[in-house]
């Protein structure tokens, strides 16, 4: 959630306009949505250099989420990440 919210703050915010975080929990999925007013500024993956301070957020989201994407809004956009939930019996016990 913090990666998507940070991107909204750095790249999607406008003076006087806020971004919104919305969590949706179902029996099978946790969906994290972050909406901001800048629909023209779409996120994209990039390969940061070893010394770059920024540019790894969506790479982290890609690794952790089962699915992520962008949905347009009438004003702005929503960037989401979905994580599949697994029942305890399905989770392997680590020694």
pLDDT tens digits, residue range 44-66? 888 877 887 777 888 889 999 99
Q: What is the pLDDT of residue 20?
A: 94
* 4 DSSP assignment: H
Distance CA 13, CA 10 (A): 7
Q: Is the pLDDT of residue 92 over 70?
A: no
Q: Do residues 77 and 35 make contact, with C-beta atoms less than 8 angstroms apart?
A: yes
> If you average pLDDT over every residue of the chain, what do you get?
87
Identify the CATH assignment for 2-89 out of 3.40.50.300, 3.30.565.10, 2.40.50.140, 3.40.50.720. Answer: 3.30.565.10
Distance CA 18, CA 66 (A): 27
pTM of the model: 0.82
pLDDT tens digits, residue range 13-24? 888 788 999 999
Specify the length of the chain in residues.
Answer: 95
Q: Is the pLDDT of residue 88 over 70?
A: no
Distance CA 1, CA 17 (A): 19
Closest residue by Cα to residue 79 from 67, 70, 88: 70
């Amino acid at each position: 959630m913090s990666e998507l919210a940070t991107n909204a703050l750095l790249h999607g915010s406008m003076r006087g306009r806020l971004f919104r975080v919305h969590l949706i929990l179902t029996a099978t999925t946790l969906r994290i949505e972050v909406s901001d007013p800048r629909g023209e500024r779409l996120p994209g993956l990039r390969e940061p250099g070893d010394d770059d301070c920024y540019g790894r957020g969506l790479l982290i989201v890609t690794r952790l989420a089962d699915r992520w994407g962008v949905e347009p809004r009438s004003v702005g956009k929503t960037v989401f990440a979905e994580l599949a939930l697994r029942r305890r019996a399905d989770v392997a016990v680590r020694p």
